Structure 1
Amino acid sequence: MDRRHRTSLLIAGKLAVLATLALPPLGSAETPATATDLTTAATTFQRASGGDDSAIAPAATQFTTLSRQQPLDPLLLAYAGAATSMQARTTWLPWKKMGYAEDGLAQIDKALSLLTPAHDTVPPRGVPVALETKLTAAGTFLALPSLFHRGERGRRLLDEVMQHPAYAGTPAAFQEAARKIAAKAAP
């Protein structure tokens, strides 16, 4: 993995989690995850996206566990996928790099497929689940090398987030994260 790709993954992960850390904990109404578990996972993810390679596997495990507890929560699955794809930077073996990236992308694709119109409503946290899920996916897609052919989809998702009617009412940290990903994605 080249230095540019590693830096892009770091930035995308950091920006995506910025929105999570600036807001109260997420979780579905059916079986809410404890705030402690979510805070721990978000903190671990932030360390991983900040360059602490030793935090990548724990972040992936924590978000995967939370996602399994709430299988219909697309946001938890998107973060699990983002963390899983970050694991590509922890190995030199090309087939493992591809495996981590592809597994993470599959999780993110599934998270996006779980989105329904109900996820567009603005919860008390101020960010619709659909927007945060799409921003997490866009950040990951745009950080990947072109061989994954996700750049265009990442740009479309980012445009959807920034043009959504609820976007203007989201917290400043979320909007800043979206603007930073957009600036990084600009040619």
Structure 2
Amino acid sequence: MQHRSPIPLLIAGKLALLIALALPPIGSAQMPVAHPDLTTAVATFQRASHGDTAAIAPALRDFTALSAARPGDPLTLAYAGAATSMQARTTWLPWKKLGHAEDGLAMIDKALALLTPAHDAVSARGVPVALETKLTAAGTFLALPAMFNRGERGRRLLDEVMQHPAFRATPAPFQDSARQIAAKAAS
């Protein structure tokens, strides 16, 4: 039987490790990542917002990817913030619940600050970006406990959306969503 030295195996193993460390991780900025389309991401988000906790992580993943691919886009940032806030539903630890909610609210606040009058004219899926961004924020604000002090702002945003001249021309599912949020807020 021939005796082999373990040294070539060790060198080959270290070489493979060095190569692996030199390559960018999967999903990094250097490697292309498949981004979901907005319609698919919104459908996943809607499942999550209607109580499907298993859809929260995919919605967050999709909108985080979309927001990274579209820096400065208030709509994808608002959805990413709303999905981040929804993570509070998935943990029992109070400090994590609070952290998820606050992180999401910060993202939504930034999305609202990014809105300009031009976002009234730009549409995504037949809805002006400003309206969908504000409705996403309103829905999140109104779903939070009172201790976050976002209820009044959520009602104002919801009123802005429903009173906007372009609201009546938006697709029926968008109008239905606004009415559902208004009905929950009224109860």
Q: TM-score range by the shorter chain?
A: 0.7 to 0.9
CA drift of 1:71 comes to: 1.2
Determine helix, strand or coil for the equivalent of 1:92: coil
Q: 2:146: which partner in 1? A: 146
1:169-180 equivalences in 2 (<5 Å):
169-180=169-180
The 1-side partners of 2:62 and 2:45 are apart by 9
The 2-side partners of 1:133 and 1:163 are apart by 15
The 2-side partners of 1:152 and 1:125 are apart by 28
Q: 2:184: which partner in 1? A: 184
Q: 1:21: which partner in 2? A: none
1:32-181 equivalences in 2 (<5 Å):
36-121=36-121, 123=123, 125-181=125-181
Q: Percent identity?
A: 77
The 3 A distance-change label for structure 1 pair 50 and 185 is closer
Deviations 1:34-68 (A, max 9, x none): 88443442343233223332321221122011101
Partner amino acid for 1:57? A
Q: 1:28: which partner in 2? A: none
Check conservation: 1:139, 1:181, Cα contact below 8 A: yes
Could you state the TM-score of these two structures normalised by the residue count of structure 1?
0.76
Across the aligned residues of Structure 1 and Structure 2, the Cα RMSD in angstroms comes to 2.0
Check conservation: 2:36, 2:66, Cα contact below 8 A: no
Check conservation: 2:39, 2:125, Cα contact below 8 A: no
Check conservation: 1:72, 1:114, Cα contact below 8 A: yes
Could you state the TM-score of these two structures normalised by the residue count of structure 2?
0.76
Q: Which structure would you say has the larger RCO, counting Cα contacts within 8 Å and 6 or more residues apart? A: 1
Check conservation: 1:84, 1:100, Cα contact below 8 A: yes
Partner amino acid for 1:145? P
The 2-side partners of 1:66 and 1:122 are apart by 17
Partner amino acid for 1:172? A
Check conservation: 1:122, 1:166, Cα contact below 8 A: no
The 2-side partners of 1:44 and 1:66 are apart by 13
In the alignment, structure 2 segments of 5+ residues that lack a partner are 1-33
The 2-side partners of 1:39 and 1:124 are apart by 9
Number of aligned residue pairs:
155
